[in-house]
Every structure is written in C-alpha cells, then in structure tokens.
Amino acid sequence: MSTETETAEQIAIDREKGNFRYETDYAFDAGVGLNAATVDYIAKVKGEEEWVREFRQKALKVFESKPMPTHWATKDLEAIDFSKIRYYLSQGQKPSRSWDDVPEAMKNTFERLGIPEQERKFLAGVEAQFDSEAAYSRMKEGLEKLGVIFVGPTEGLKEHAEIFRPWFGKVIPTGDNKFSALNSAVFSGGSFIYVPKGVKVKQPLQAYFRINAENFGQFERTLIIADEGAEVTYMEGCTAPKFETATLHSAVVELIAMKGAKIQYITVQNWSNNVFNLVTKRGLAHEDSEIRWIDCNIGSRLTMKYPGVILKGRRARGEVLSIALADDGQHQDTGAKMIHAADETTSNIIAKSISVGKGRSTYRGLVQIPKHLKNCKNNTECDALLINANSRTDTYPAITVRGEGNSVQHEASVSKVSAEQIFYMRSRGLSEAAAMSLSVNGFINDLVREFPMEYSVELKRLIELEMEGSVG
C-alpha cells in the first residue's frame, strides 16, 4: 500500500503546480456582472480613446444579441452565469520591465511557475499577465532597436495606432461568434506585436496568462503582425488555481502574416478544471507566407477552440498541429479551420486527442477550397486515443473541396490503450501511471517532434503528471 501513498503525494506536489494563490487587493474592480457601465469603467480605467470605447459598447450589444451556440456546441455552456463574473480586476500596476519592480504576490506567483527562469534560458521577450493586466513585460534590447514592438493592447492602440488599428478586429470581427463579441467588449491584456520587414526574431516571445481571482473572467486580446519576410514565434502558457466556481477565459487572437512572413503560435494550456476556455484564433496569410498554430490543450473544464488560417495570398501555407487531453470532468472541443482563398495554397491539419476516464474530446474541422481555385492542397489527420471504456470521442470534419486540380486527404483513427497493453508494461516494472503516460507519449510522439525542444519537454512532463493524477 506504500505505493498508493507515494502516488498521492506526488500528485499533491507536482500536478497541482498551478494550484495556489496569494491574497491580492485589487485597486480597480469593475464589479460583478456585465452591462454598459462595466464596459465604460474598463475603457476609463485604461484611459482609452473614444473610438475604442465605442468599439467596446457596440460589441457588448452584439454579445447580448447572440444566443449561446448550444444548437451545435455542448449544453455545458449554459453553466456560465455572465451576471456572476467579474470582468476587470487589477492592482493598477503598469507592466514592469524588471522582476524586482513587480508586486510581491505576482512576482512570487510567476517565480513558482518558472517564468523568469525560462526567460533567462531561451526567450526573446516575456509578458506576464495577472488577472486583467500585465505585471511584467520585457523584450531583449536588440529587438527594440530593430523596431520590434511587443506591448499590450492598450498601449498598442494608443501609441502605435497607425500599425495596429488597421488590422484590429479585421481577421476576427466582433460578430464572429458570441465569445469574440464578449472579448471585444471587455478585452484587457494580451500582446500586440509588430515585427518589421525582414526581421527574423530567432527566440520565441512568450506571454503567460495567470488567473488569480475567483469568479473572474480573463479576456486578453492578441494581435501579431509579421511584416514582409519577417519571422516570429509566439508562445503562450496559462494556469489558474482551482476554485469551486466557474472561471471564464475568452481570448481573441489575430495573426497577420504579410508577404513571405512566417508566424508560429504555440499554446500550452493547462487551466484548472473549473475554467471555461472559449477562445477564437485566426490568422490571415498573404502571398508566400506561413502561419502555423501549435495548440496543446491539457486543462480546463471545457475548451472550445478551432484555430484557423485564411489563405488569402498565392502559395500561402497554413498549419494546425493540435493535441488535446481530456481527463475526467473535462471536455476538449477543439479543431481547425482552413479557408483557401487563393491558388496554390496548402494547408495541413494534424489533430490528436486523448480521452482518459470520463474525459471527452471532440474534433471539429472546416476546410474550404472553392471552385474557382487551382492547385490547392489540404491534408487532414485526426487520431483519437481512448484510455478507459468510459471515454468518448467525436469527430466532425467538414471538408468542402470544389474545382479542378485541388486535392484533399483525410485520415481519421480511433485507438484504445487496452488493459493488456497496460498489464504488459506493468509486468516490466512500470507503474500504471508510467505505462499510461508512455503509451500517450507514444501516441503523440510524431507530432511532438515538430515542437521546439523546450515545449516538447514541458508537454511530456505535463502529460506524465496528468496521467499520475488519473490513476485512481
């Protein structure tokens, strides 16, 4: 019986890495519930210009007019009570350029999550958001000299309006869906990034989103513009402590890749199991450019996320590599969208989902290649792995391909880790958790190889911890 205690202890220490919080006093609090006054409060606290306030107010009306998409999505969405959520919380901190200037509780939080350490090791820039606002933001000096901009949306829309305003809300319009409208009304925090022509940012820029408060909604807004021939990798990580009540995270992320540019956007989402994670992510790829979404969803109660690429310019390439792990009490509803809008555009979707126990995973795909286009290609692979008879997986691929010379390949598979496989591995001395995590890692191995090293290590570690927790 000693091993059971051991496992329990490991869970208590390791798996709960993000499950802690420091008491925090908020100087700015928009209160509970959402109405026009909430939106005005946010605009005022942030000192935004009138056009932004109007943008927000218009979005609020769109949000209110749209029904919950439960005609196709899960009824679990109805569990979100918008009138009980707090939409803006901050200590009034300005993002510091030095960790020493970050308020104590926030600094301790990010240190426990290992952010400053990662920054030293391999990042070109970091932004660390605590509830509604960034607490820390810093980019390597060399990049600033090259004209790279890495700021939050408030600063981005105020100080660099000429760059960001033309693209703001253009790839994902307010009315795209109920949650993009919600974000457009109350957005706060996130990254606005501009990489000038020909500048290749070698190391990743990273944002870390931390929810600390209960009954809270985090609504960051990200807009990344890579000008002609520019290259950038952006990485986001997220955690929250466990609360009894539901927490909402609803981001909007827009990417613009100009001619010949490359954007790689990596997400490792590890929310606690009370978080509704409802995110809209889309990129616009101009001629010869490439947009790549690498999306790993490990935590949350419900994630709904379908990163997409609009392939607008000739020979543009779009890619979504996605890994979702749904454990007990979790539903990962993820997928990808590829909208081909020019000749010779290519897209690739590889989605792997793992359902453990009663965890549920859903893949939704959308691939469109209209009739007038020539020589477009799509490849879609979605594989599901079930660990346990209770798990559930669904696949809804929607592929519309018309016209001549366009080709599409679609493969889907569902496999199971059998009791015999687990027994076989245990008979070699591996614990049940180690056996499961080994087979899960085996399942996603070919995909993880595509990831930058640091993230593949992190991902494998997270899966190991998750598997440890899933063994009863």
Give least dist CB 373 to other proteins, A. 36
* Min separation Cβ 359 and other proteins, Å: 20
- Nearer to other proteins by C-beta: 24 or 441? 441
Nearer to other proteins, 3 or 83 (CB): 3
Site for other proteins in 314-343 (CB under 8 A): none
- Binders of other proteins among residues 444 to 463 (CB under 8 A) are 444-446
Q: Helix 36-45 and helix 50-65: axis angle, to 10°?
A: 150
Query: How far is Cα 34 from Cα 312, in angstroms, rounded to an integer?
Result: 36
* Three state DSSP letters for the chain: CHHHHHHHHHHHHHHCCCCCCCCCCCCEECCECCCHHHHHHHHHHCCCCHHHHHHHHHHHHHHHHCCCCCCCCCHHHHHCCHHHCECCEECCCCCECCHHHCCHHHHHHHHHCCHHHHHHHHCCEEEEEECCEEEEEEECHHHHHCCCEEECHHHHHHHCHHHHCCCCCCCCCHHHCHHHHHHHHHCCCCCEEEECCCCECCCCEEEEEECCCCCEEECCEEEEEECCCCEEEEEEEEECCCCCCCEEECCEEEEEECCCCEEEEEEEECCCCCEEEEEEEEEEECCCCEEEEEEEECCCCEEEECCEEEECCCCCEEEEEEEEEECCCCEEEEEEEEEECCCCCEEEEEEEEEEECCCEEEEEEEEEECCCCCCCEEEEEEEEEEECCCCEEEEEEEEEECCCCCEEEEEEEEEECCHHHHHHHHCCCCCHHHHHHHHHHHHHHHHHCCCCHHHHHHHHHHHHHHHHHHCC
Q: Which is nearer to other proteins, 201 or 384 (CB)?
A: 384
Distances 34 to 274, 414, 448 between C-alpha atoms, Å: 20, 42, 40
Min dist CB 438 to other proteins, Å, is 6
The residues in 385-444 that bind other proteins, with binding defined as CB under 8 A, are 415, 418-421, 423-432, 434, 438-439, 441-444
| Residue number, 6 or 144, with CB nearest to other proteins | 6
**129 vs 437 by CB, closer to other proteins:** 437
Positions 242 through 271 that interact with other proteins (CB under 8 A):
none
Nearer to other proteins (CB atom), residue 17 or residue 416: 416
Size of the site for other proteins (CB under 8 A): 25
Query: Whole-number minimum distance, CB 442 to other proteins, in Å?
Result: 3
> Would you give the distance in Å from CA 43 to the centre of its chain?
25
Which is closer to other proteins, CB of 255 or CB of 321? 321
- Of 82 and 423, which CB lies nearer to other proteins in the complex structure? 423
Tokens 């790993």 -> residue? 296
Q: How far is the CB of 120 from other proteins (least distance, A)?
A: 24
**In the complex, minimum distance from the CB of residue 417 to other proteins, in angstroms, rounded to a whole number:** 9
Minimum CB–partner distance for residue 319 and other proteins (Å)? 21
Contact between 245 and 213 (Cβ < 8 Å) = no
**Cα 66 from Cα 63, distance rounded (Å):** 5
Question: Could you identify the residue written with the tokens 């790829």?
Answer: 285
Which of 298/435 has CB closer to other proteins?
435
Contact code string over 3-42 relative to other proteins, x by CB under 8 A? x---------------------------------------
CB of 2 to other proteins, least distance (A): 10
Output the smallest distance, CB 428 to other proteins, in A. Answer: 4
Q: Which is nearer to other proteins, 250 or 355 (CB)?
A: 355
In the complex with other proteins, the residue whose CB is nearer, 408 or 430, is: 430
Q: How far is the CB of 426 from other proteins (least distance, A)?
A: 4
Which stretches of the chain bind other proteins, using CB under 8 A?
Answer: 3, 415, 418-421, 423-432, 434, 438-439, 441-446
